Amino acid sequence: MKFSKAAASLLAGALALGTVGASAETLRLGDFQSTTHIVSIEGTTRWMKAVEEATGGEIEFEHYPSAQAAKAAAQLDAVKAGILDAALIGTPYHSKDLPLNSVVALPGYYSSAVHGTKALQEMLAKGPLRDELLAAEVVPIFGFVLPPYQVLAKKHLGGPGDWTGLDIRTSGSTQAMTARSLGAVGVSIPGPEVYTAVERSRLDGILFPLASVPGYNLQEVVSHISKNGSFGGYSFVMVVQKDRFDGLPETVKTAMLDAGKDIALHVAEAQDASIEKLVDEWTEQELEVYDFTPEELAELNASMAEVSADWVQRVGGGSETAKAVLEDYRKLTSE
């Protein structure tokens, strides 16, 4: 979604109502997550509070959660157009502007939210992922990932032989390729519709991050959940409009970046910890929450290896930059 200059001016003015005369500088921050989601509670909201405290009230935020100011796929454009000053963007929604940032969606790499977040933070500090964001007229403050996607199904799914011909819910084209590499069919269905699709047997399984399962009550319609697979990931990045960021005092910039380093790791740790509790709850509810065997993991990873090669060609056009991004990501997630 693109915004005209006139529309941007009108909307920015409308969003700014109520801030005139305030002594603090107010930043309008967009977010498509609800305020009850763990990403908002432990990430966005916590970061805003930390920045406000660190700057002694010099900076304040007007928070527009649940896509109130712009839909998920329009958050980046809203920041570029000046409708928002900042936003927590889901990079998969902006693949046109941020193709190389989709490297996080590749399967078989990070094993936990903390593991993946540490790698992402390093790649956002310098290099092509950061350059993409700067070219999109925003400055990355911090980034983090969801826990690696697992498979939820009505039966136990192990090695690739168990996946043949199954309809599996996937998110994005890279994850659809992941399903195909295992012999399954990737089906794109919005999150709110997944529950009914499984209940009515339109889907045989779901690739989903476990920390997000309760938000959709998917544990009610499946009986088997893996917990040590790595079927791709999803990254969030907090961004500030570049000109807006450049115009802030150095002390404020430092406060934002320092708080971001802490919050990125914190929200990752919170998500990983939530999974441990969820696994206990699901086990008590007599769901089979299982680990793939070392042999199954080896077979799965061998089958999914082709997805990375496909990504370099399809997303990166076979460029040396794409190859370097993948190699850097592989190295960081192997540490």
Is residue 97 predicted with pLDDT exceeding 90?
A: yes
Percent of the chain with pLDDT over 90: 84
**What DSSP line would sit under 232-297, residue for residue?**
---EEEEEEEHHHHHTS-HHHHHHHHHHHHHHHHHHHHHHHHHHHHHHHHHHHTT-EEEPPPHHHH
Binned at pLDDT 50, 70 and 90, residue 18 comes out as very low
- Per DSSP, the three-state class of 53 is helix
On whether both 242 and 97 belong to a single domain, the answer is: yes
Report whether 311 contacts 106 (CB < 8 A).
yes
Say if residue 221 is in the same domain as residue 118: no
Do 182 and 244 have their domain in common?
Answer: no
90 and 168 both lie in a single domain: no
User: Does residue 335 lie within any of the structural domains?
Assistant: no
244 with 288, same domain?
no
Nearest CA-CA partner of 64 in 34, 94, 26: 34
pLDDT tens-digit map of 237-295:
999 999 999 999 999 999 999 999 999 999 999 999 999 999 999 999 999 999 999 99
For residues 204 and 77, state if they share a domain.
no
Contacts (Cβ under 8 Å, ≥6 apart) of 113: 144, 145, 146, 147, 211, 267, 268, 269, 271, 272
Is residue 186 classed as helix, strand or coil in its secondary structure?
strand
Q: How far is 206 from 49, CA to CA, in rounded Å?
A: 35
Residue 11 pLDDT: 53
Of 96 and 17, the structure prediction assigns the larger pLDDT to: 96
Check pLDDT > 90 for residue 333.
yes
d(CA 150, CA 234): 12
Please check whether residue 316 lies inside any domain of the structure: no
Do both 221 and 198 map to the same domain? yes
Q: What is the mean pLDDT of the chain?
A: 92
- 131-153 average pLDDT score: 97
Rounded to an integer, what distance in angstroms lies between the CA atom of residue 301 and that of residue 262?
32
pLDDT at 21 over 80: no
Rounded Cα distance, 85 and 27, in Å: 6
- Cα–Cα distance between 30 and 87 in angstroms, integer? 4
On whether both 73 and 12 belong to a single domain, the answer is yes
Bigger pLDDT: 171 vs 62: 62
CA 142 to mean position of chain CA atoms: 12
Give yes or no: residues 170 and 243 share one domain.
Answer: no
The domain that contains 170 carries what CATH number? 3.40.190.10
| In the predicted structure, residue 16 carries a pLDDT above the cut 70 | no
Instruction: Check residue 7 and give its pLDDT.
Output: 47
Question: What is residue 22's predicted lDDT score, i.e. its pLDDT?
Answer: 46
156 shares a domain with 99: no
Residue 333 placed within a domain: no
- Asked if pLDDT for residue 100 goes beyond 80, the answer is yes
- Judge residue 101's burial from the number of C-beta atoms within 10 Å of its C-beta, 0-12 exposed, 13-18 middle, 19 or more buried: buried
What is the pLDDT, as a whole number, of residue 20? 39
Instruction: Provide the domain limits for residue 195.
Output: 149-232+284-308
Q: Does 1 score more than 60 pLDDT?
A: no
| Within a domain: 46 | yes
Nearest CA among 150, 189, 184, 157 for reference residue 170 = 189
Mean pLDDT across 28-52 = 94
Tokens of 119: 């790698």
In a domain, 225, yes or no: yes
Residues 173, 224, single domain; the answer is yes
Q: In this structure, is residue 334 part of a structural domain?
A: no
Same domain, 106 and 204: no
pLDDT on residue 3: 52
- Which residues of the chain form beta strands (DSSP E)? 25-31, 59-64, 86-90, 138-145, 149-153, 167-170, 185-188, 205-209, 224-226, 235-241, 288-290
Q: Pick from 123, 154, 289, 134: which is nearest to 210 by CA?
A: 289
Structural domain contains residue 126: yes
Contact assessment for residue 232 and residue 148, using Cβ atoms and an 8 Å cutoff: yes
Q: How many domains does the chain have?
A: 2
CA distances from 325 to 20, 172, 208, 315, 321 (A): 44, 19, 25, 12, 6
Residue 331 lies in a domain: no
163 phi, psi to nearest 5 deg: -100, -10
For position 104, which CATH number holds?
3.40.190.170
Return d(Cα 302, Cα 181) in angstroms, integer: 9
